[in-house]
């Protein structure tokens, strides 16, 4: 997993919620989950378009929680 993506995710969360510390491995968890979406859709026989918007929506909800 590219460390740059992990660091970017953690920096974005920290910038959006400076009042809350970023949990260890949070960036790794988010990037890993996003990477798993297409594989899950393929395994379940769904069209890849079914994953459209999920990463952005989920990230928004996590950051604003």
The C-alpha torsion from 2 through 28 and 65 to 18, rounded to 10°, is -70
Q: What pLDDT is attached to residue 60?
A: 61
| pLDDT, tens digit, 9 for 90 and up, residues 9-37 | 778 778 877 887 777 777 777 778 777 88
pLDDT for 1 beyond 70: no
Domain edges within the chain: 3-64
pLDDT for 59? 63
Whole-structure pTM value: 0.51
Q: How far is CA 25 from CA 29, 40, 41, in A?
A: 6, 22, 25
pLDDT-derived band at 65 (thresholds 50, 70, 90) equals low
């Amino acid at each position: 997993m590219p460390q740059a993506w992990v660091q970017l995710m953690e920096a974005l969360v920290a910038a959006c919620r400076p009042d809350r510390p970023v949990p260890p491995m949070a960036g790794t968890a988010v990037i890993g989950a996003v990477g798993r979406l297409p594989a899950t859709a393929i395994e379940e026989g769904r069209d890849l378009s079914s994953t459209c918007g999920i990463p952005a929506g989920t990230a928004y909800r996590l950051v604003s929680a």
